[in-house]
């Protein structure tokens, strides 16, 4: 009898040991993979069983949470969804998170260890803090002005504070309402399918994820290269530039929209947007120096993280003379995001220094205590302070005496550059209208804003589409909103 009891005891002990080993395997070895398994809805239920923290722009609350009473209890809501979608992104129970909803997810969901008053205790108890807050850098007034001024046309706007890199506005059009697919029901799935099938691609953030040929807006970079390389020492001196200009090694003759470009000075060529002068200048400067200057502005590198990654902008590094001539006027393979072109204008306004753009001002816990603050950082020096000063004066002339007159504002110094970019097979596409600029009140030493605008489908006859006519008024609205204290 005693022998049988001993055997049963040993057998039970083995079973208990096996049970403990298996429990440990599940808890410590398989737990991560089980948590990631799409079939495991427990993590989703936990994730959405409390209100998510909110995203703010200044005093304006951009997000909220609504109690649905379902298993995925709290659904994300948005106070001005389409206007701020390129900033907030979306937080969907079905389709995940993007942009600030993604970059700030740990804080917003309350899982960030920095939110815990006693992190070790929270790790032991697995208690979760209430969702914190993410404060965006965007100005509500500038964001509204940019969104309204685009008026539903396809395009994008990016605005920066040159001295810091703070993003003041980030608009993409057409846009979408992130709240329309925030849940997990059939209506949310249907809304997602409509948006992803929409030929207007409303989910594409054109301000940071779409590159365009920058057209004549790129002439600011070419002018910087000409001054930095010493090919031009006096912006007022006549250049040896024929009109039309025959592209090197070809019979193609490049012409201008404006009169008076033959041998025009660098200043006057920028004001009139002379293709011939800048195409020849790019060739005279040479490929290595042109590439070096473009790279110093941020081209040919991974796009900055704002914290979402921005698509990199491109200036080709292997071209013949004709291709270099076209690239120097923002055509051929040259491609840039609107944010990159805003950085070009900001560098000119900031004495040649490119600041890293950023979209998160600070993160706090649910009670407003700060857990992280973004500090401005220098990204590159694009040019010398002297070159930046010369370019500032030339860009002012574009608005006062050139093609950018529609951006003029009384009492404000606006330095700009227009662009009309050809694209498509045989350049048959509707030209993109560009305008880049910076602005400061008269007498002020620093420019509080730099803007880039691109309009894809300007509502005008093809021959009448221009950066000055279609994009400059949008930039003017943004500048007025920023200087108005919004």
Which positions are annotated as active-site residues?
A: 216
Alpha-carbon distance of 418 to 341, in angstroms, equals 12
Looking up tokens 């993109």, which residue turns up? 432
CA distance 57 to 85: 12
Structural contact between residues 438 and 368, judged by C-beta atoms closer than 8 angstroms: no
Q: Is the separation of the CB atoms in 340 and 391 below 8 Å?
A: no
- Beta carbons of 461 and 255 less than 8 angstroms apart: no
What would the 3-class secondary structure string for 44-102 be?
Answer: HHHHCCCCCCCEEECCEECEEEEECCCCCCEEEEECCHHHHHHHHCCEECCCEECHHHH
DSSP secondary structure letter of residue 5: H
391, 227 Cβ separation under 8 angstroms: yes
- Residue 198 half-sphere exposure, CB side, CA atoms within 13 Å? 16
Closest C-alpha to 364, from 165, 114, 99: 114
Candidates 241, 50, 233; CA nearest to 129 is 50
Strands (E), 245-322: 245-246, 253-254
Residues 6+ apart with CB under 8 A from 21: none
Q: In 3-state terms, what secondary structure has residue 293?
A: helix
Do 290 and 329 contact (CB within 8 A), yes or no? no
180-185: long-range contacts, CB 8 A cutoff, minimum separation 24: 180/81, 181/90, 181/92, 181/94, 181/95, 182/75, 182/76, 182/77, 182/78, 182/90, 182/91, 182/92, 182/93, 183/68, 183/72, 183/75, 183/92, 183/93, 183/94, 184/72, 184/93, 184/94
> What are the tokens at 246?
């025959």
Distance between CA atoms of 400 and 390, rounded to whole angstroms?
A: 16
Of 318, 472, 304, 338, the closest CA to residue 404 belongs to 472
> Does a cis peptide bond (omega within 30 degrees of 0) precede residue 307?
yes
Opening angle at CA 472, ends 470 and 475, nearest 5: 125
- DSSP secondary structure, 105-131, as one string: HHHHHT--GGG-SSHHHHHHHT--PPP
């Amino acid at each position: 009898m005693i022998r049988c009891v001993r055997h049963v005891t040993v057998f039970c002990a083995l079973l208990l040991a096996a049970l403990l080993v298996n429990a440990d395997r599940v808890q410590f070895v398989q737990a991560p993979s089980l948590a990631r398994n799409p079939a495991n809805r427990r993590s989703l239920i936990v994730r959405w069983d409390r209100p998510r923290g909110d995203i703010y722009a200044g005093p304006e609350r951009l997000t909220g949470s609504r109690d649905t009473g379902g298993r995925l209890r709290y659904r994300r809501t948005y106070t001005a969804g389409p206007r701020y979608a390129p900033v907030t992104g979306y937080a969907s129970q079905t389709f995940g998170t993007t942009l600030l909803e993604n970059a700030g997810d740990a804080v917003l969901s309350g899982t960030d260890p920095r939110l815990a008053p006693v992190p070790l205790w929270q790790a032991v108890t697995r208690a979760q803090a209430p969702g914190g807050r993410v404060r965006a850098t965007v100005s509500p007034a500038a964001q509204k002005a940019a969104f309204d001024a685009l008026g539903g046309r396809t395009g994008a706007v990016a605005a920066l504070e040159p001295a810091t890199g703070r993003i003041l506005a980030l608009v993409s059009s057409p846009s979408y309402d992130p709240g329309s697919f925030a849940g997990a029901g059939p209506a949310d799935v249907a809304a997602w399918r409509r948006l992803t099938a929409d030929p207007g691609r409303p989910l594409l953030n054109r301000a940071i994820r779409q590159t365009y040929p920058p057209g004549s807006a790129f002439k600011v970079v070419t002018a910087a290269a000409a001054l930095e390389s010493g090919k031009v020492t006096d912006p007022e001196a006549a250049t040896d530039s024929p009109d039309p200009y025959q592209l090197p090694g070809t019979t193609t003759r490049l012409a201008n929209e404006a009169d008076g470009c033959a041998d025009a000075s660098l200043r006057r060529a920028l004001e009139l947007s002379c293709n011939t002068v800048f195409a020849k200048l790019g060739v005279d400067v040479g490929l290595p120096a042109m590439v070096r200057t473009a790279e110093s502005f941020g081209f040919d590198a991974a796009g900055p993280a704002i914290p979402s990654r921005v698509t990199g902008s491109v200036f080709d590094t292997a071209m013949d003379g004709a291709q270099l001539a076209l690239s120097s006027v923002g055509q051929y393979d040259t491609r840039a995001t609107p944010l990159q072109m805003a950085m070009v204008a900001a560098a000119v306004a900031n004495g040649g220094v490119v600041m890293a753009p950023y979209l998160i001002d600070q993160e706090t816990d649910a009670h407003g205590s700060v857990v992280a603050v973004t500090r401005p950082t220098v990204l590159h020096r694009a040019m010398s302070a002297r070159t930046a000063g010369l370019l500032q004066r030339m860009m002012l002339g574009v608005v006062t005496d050139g093609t950018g007159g529609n951006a003029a504002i009384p009492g404000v110094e606006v330095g700009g550059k227009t662009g009309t970019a050809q694209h498509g097979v045989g350049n048959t596409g509707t030209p993109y209208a560009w305008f880049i600029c910076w602005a400061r009140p008269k007498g002020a030493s620093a420019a509080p804003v730099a803007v880039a605008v691109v309009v894809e489908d300007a509502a005008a006859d093809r021959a009448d589409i221009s950066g000055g006519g279609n994009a400059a008024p949008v930039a003017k609205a943004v500048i007025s909103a920023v200087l108005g204290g919004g």
